[in-house]
Amino acid sequence: MRAVVCRSYGPPEDLVLDDVADPTPGPGQLVVRVRAAAVNFPDVLLIAGKYQVKIPVPFTPGSELAGEVLAVGTSARFQPGDRVFGTTPTGAFAELALLDAHAAAPVPDGADFASAAAFGVTYRTAYHALRSVAQVGDGDWVVVLGAAGGVGQAALDLAVAMKARVLAAASTEEKLDVCRQRGAQAAVDYEREDLKSRIRELTDVGAHVVVDPVGGPYAEQALRGLARGGVFVTLGYAAGAIPAIPLNLVLLKDITIRGMEIRTFTADHPDEAARDMAELHQMFADGLIRPYIGARFGLSDTATALRHVAERKAIGKVVIDVA
């Protein structure tokens, strides 16, 4: 089979498309003929050797996929031919991929492979942040930083579905137009406007929740735009810099700062994780949420897709069409 291979840590352009051995399923595993795979910012960090967890080279990157079951190991709950989607630490950017059966789910009727592949990581991250960490309620003002990106679009979609009011913050008018189309009630260009002032003007009382997958210079501005007793959820640092927050702001405004990391959330909070996953999959099955796919690339153009994400050009999800 053909697979994208990271032979040494570096930029996306160092990846190679190579012929590698077909995978064989072990107990509880599936071999999936990949039809679509989604690109996430952590993929860029993994191939550069800069993620929290370092994957030994060589490896095939990619953590989200959808396709058809080709073969099953013992104790697997699927059959060859089933349409499935799921997540895996690595291996999605290939014609065939191994997937643990417990990490797979049936593709709902009415959903295509691209939407199913793009659904997993970002929507899980956003829903855990909104539902379990921030406990967003009806009518709450939720500020989403990087609202046109993968996690940002998922947070926007889910906050709207949860009947919250969303203020989308992004870096271009094109990105903000997409956010408005997806249900944002207000929008701020944080490259050209004062984020703190605009949050207060547009929400009247300040935000109840900030969801921040971006970091950098925007984090403190957004935190200053929180209302008293607000919750700030930090999810990542796509802007490249980890912000330093003045703790006196937390003290004076009774603010709560929480972190949420998708890799460890299930182990740390198993009951909330199980509940969130059941609710999220039901929303997807019912057609209440569908990822916005802003760009699609072929398997041979995986490096270009990763560069597109690395340079923060992506609007919504970026998908690799494998077959």
The verdict on 12 and 91 lying in the same domain is: yes
Q: Look at residue 163 in the predicted model and tell me its pLDDT.
A: 96
Residue 133 lies in a domain: yes
Residue 272 lies in a domain: no
- Report the CATH number at residue 138: 3.40.50.720
The verdict on 128 and 253 lying in the same domain is: yes
The verdict on 75 and 170 lying in the same domain is: no
The verdict on 170 and 241 lying in the same domain is: yes
Residue 117 lies in a domain: no
Domain boundary among 218, 233, 265: 265
The verdict on 10 and 48 lying in the same domain is: yes
Instruction: Specify the pairing of strand 165-170 against strand 186-189.
Output: parallel
Q: Look at residue 141 in the predicted model and tell me its pLDDT.
A: 98
The verdict on 130 and 43 lying in the same domain is: no
The verdict on 66 and 94 lying in the same domain is: yes
Residue-number span of the structural domain to which 7 is assigned: 2-111+287-321
3-state secondary structure the chain: CEEEEECCCCCHHHCEEEECCCCCCCCCEEEEEEEEEEECHHHHHHHHCCCCCCCCCCECCCCEEEEEEEEECCCCCCCCCCEEEEECCCCCCECEEEEEHHHEEECCCCCCHHHHHCCHHHHHHHHHHHHHHCCCCCCCEEEEECCCCHHHHHHHHHHHHCCCEEEEEECCHHHHHHHHHCCCCEEEECCCCCHHHHHHHHHCCCEEEEEECCCCCHHHHHHHCEEEEEEEEECCCCCCCCCCCCHHHHHHHCCEEEECCHHHHHHHCHHHHHHHHHHHHHHHHCCCCCCCEEEEEEHHHHHHHHHHHHCCCCCCEEEEECC
The verdict on 95 and 212 lying in the same domain is: no
The verdict on 137 and 201 lying in the same domain is: yes
The verdict on 76 and 175 lying in the same domain is: no
Contacts of 73 (CB under 8 A, 6+ apart): 25, 26, 27, 28, 29, 30, 101
Residue 275 lies in a domain: no
Other C-beta atoms within 10 Å of 259: how many?
A: 12
Q: Domain total for the chain?
A: 2
Q: Look at residue 55 in the predicted model and tell me its pLDDT.
A: 94
Q: At what angle do helices 302-310 and 41-48 cross, to 10 degrees?
A: 110
Residue 103 lies in a domain: yes
Tokens representing 175 are 């990105």
- CA distance linking residue 177 with residue 226, whole number of Å: 24
Burial class of residue 253 (count of CB atoms within 10 Å of its CB; 0-12, 13-18, 19+): middle
Residue 116 lies in a domain: no
The verdict on 198 and 256 lying in the same domain is: yes
- Report the CATH number at residue 94: 3.90.180.10
Residue 107 lies in a domain: yes
Residue type, 73: G
Average pLDDT of each block of 10 consecutive residues along the chain (323 residues)?
Answer: 98 97 95 97 94 92 97 89 95 97 92 95 95 97 96 96 97 95 96 95 95 94 96 91 91 95 91 95 92 96 96 92 90
The verdict on 252 and 133 lying in the same domain is: yes
Residue 281 lies in a domain: no
Q: Look at residue 229 in the predicted model and tell me its pLDDT.
A: 96
